[in-house]
């Protein structure tokens, strides 16, 4: 006995085409169902289907992102649509047994809405909308970053994987002084850093920076103002931070490239600090801003100086940090 009291009626037809299904479900109760829309949209030649309509079917009503398996539908005792795994056809148990609501939601948002359908407020269960998942399998879609220059087309389920590593995807703001959620292309971020974060902008491939702190023993973690260099027509971010490696307080300077990793590898840079007749040097390859400043810092990929040595280089009574960092950027042949 099915939940709700009624038993399943005999299958009207074990195989029906989309056009048959469209006719069989033409009652007014089903006109708002996404399953009805799916069948109608896909009847005939898929090439004649409006991509906007298909996108609308596959959009989660909560986050408005495209849905990926598992896609869930309203848990109703009347939901009696199953899918033939080998074709885009349906087995319909009875027109009167079809769920009139059939709304869908992505797996991420299912928990966010506390198992309540965001469209009709019915309870959500664990019913997979296999029909809609199969529809998605048949689609090829452009990259979401098409407007930024990516013109590739991908099968629906490959699109998400591509977009996570698409070279045209927006960059995150490289500012390290605060958590900034701004994203965009490089020219936009350069203006954002200049106008919103008021960072220092310099032209040239060599630099001398002095980092000063009057009470270095009282500061366990600190991030100095970011500096951006325009060099070879590209932008480089110089970071300087105080933190701990284990129990040891250290200072670290490193360079990040405003672009992708493959472009960053075309450049090299050197950093050096010194004082009292001593010099400490580092040479490396700038990291892409695709890697967060924390990831670069934690990988220790830069010039690292223990605090006692940094204060020694600062001279005087070693009670104040006055560390000069010199550097050079060059392009590999």
What CATH number is given to the structural domain containing 69? 3.30.40.10
Where is the domain boundary, 168, 189, 216? 168
Here the CATH number for the domain that contains residue 313 is: 2.60.210.10
Whether residues 66 and 193 share a domain: the answer is: no
* pTM above threshold 0.85: no
Q: 207 and 101: one domain?
A: no
On whether residue 40 sits in a domain, the answer given is no
Q: What is the pLDDT of residue 137?
A: 75
Nearest to 192 by CA among 202, 180, 204: 180
Together in a domain, 164 and 254: no
pLDDT, tens digit, for every residue of 87-126?
Answer: 333 322 222 222 346 677 777 777 777 777 777 777 766 6
Where does the pLDDT of residue 140 fall: very low under 50, low under 70, confident under 90, or very high at 90 and above? confident
Q: Give me the domain span that covers residue 114.
A: 52-137
> Do 133 and 244 fall into the same domain?
no
Radius of gyration of the chain (CA): 30
Q: Is residue 192 part of a domain?
A: yes
Instruction: State the average pLDDT over residues 216-245.
Output: 89
Residues 210, 277, single domain; the answer is yes
- From the CB of residue 102, how many other CB atoms can be counted at a distance below 10 Å? 27
Contact 154, 166 (CB under 8 A): no
In a domain, 17, yes or no: no
CA 242 to chain centre: 29
Q: Is the pLDDT of residue 72 over 50?
A: yes
**Stretch (H or E) spanning 263:** helix 261-264
190 with 313, same domain: the answer is yes
Answer yes or no: do 154 and 187 share one domain.
Answer: no
* pLDDT for the residue 230: 96
Same domain, 251 and 314: yes
Scanning the structure block, which residue is given the tokens 């405003």?
258
163, 130: one domain: no
- The answer on 253 and 124 residing in a single domain is no
In a shared domain, residues 191 and 145: no
Residues 82 and 210 in one domain: no
Structure-block tokens of residue 109? 């948002």
The 10s digit of each residue's pLDDT in 251-308 is 999 999 999 999 999 999 999 998 878 889 999 999 999 999 889 999 999 999 999 8
Burial of 218 (0-12, 13-18, 19+ CB in 10 A): exposed
How many domains does the chain fold into?
3
């Amino acid at each position: 006995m099915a939940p709700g009291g009624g038993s399943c009626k005999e299958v009207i037809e074990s195989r029906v085409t989309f056009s048959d299904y469209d006719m069989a479900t033409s009652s007014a109760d089903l006109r708002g169902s996404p399953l009805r829309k799916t069948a109608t949209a896909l009847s005939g030649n898929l090439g004649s289907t409006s991509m906007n309509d298909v996108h609308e079917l596959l959009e989660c009503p909560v986050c408005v992102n495209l849905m990926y398996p598992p896609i869930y539908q309203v848990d109703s005792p009347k939901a009696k649509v199953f899918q033939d795994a080998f074709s885009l056809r349906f087995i319909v148990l009875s027109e009167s047994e079809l769920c009139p609501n059939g709304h869908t939601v992505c797996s991420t948002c299912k928990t966010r809405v506390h198992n309540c359908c965001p469209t009709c407020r019915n309870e959500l269960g664990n019913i997979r909308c296999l029909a809609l998942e199969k529809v998605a399998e048949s689609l090829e879609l452009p990259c979401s970053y098409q407007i930024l220059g990516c013109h590739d087309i991908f099968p629906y389920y490959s699109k998400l994987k591509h977009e996570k590593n698409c070279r045209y995807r927006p960059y995150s703001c490289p500012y390290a002084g605060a958590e900034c959620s701004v994203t965009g292309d490089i020219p936009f971020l350069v203006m954002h850093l200049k106008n919103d974060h008021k960072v220092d902008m310099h032209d040239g491939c060599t630099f001398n920076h002095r980092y000063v702190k009057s009470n270095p023993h009282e500061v366990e973690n600190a991030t100095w103002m970011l500096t951006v260099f325009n060099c070879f027509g590209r932008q480089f971010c110089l970071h300087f931070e105080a933190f701990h490696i284990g129990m040891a307080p250290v200072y670290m300077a490193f360079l990040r490239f405003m672009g992708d990793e493959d472009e960053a590898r075309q450049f090299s840079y050197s950093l050096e600090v010194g004082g009292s007749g001593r010099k400490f040097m580092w040479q490396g390859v700038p990291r892409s801003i695709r890697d967060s400043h924390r990831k670069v810092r934690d990988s220790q990929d830069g010039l690292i100086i223990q605090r006692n040595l940094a204060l020694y280089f600062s001279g005087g009574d070693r009670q104040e940090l006055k560390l000069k960092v010199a550097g050079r950027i060059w392009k590999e042949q």
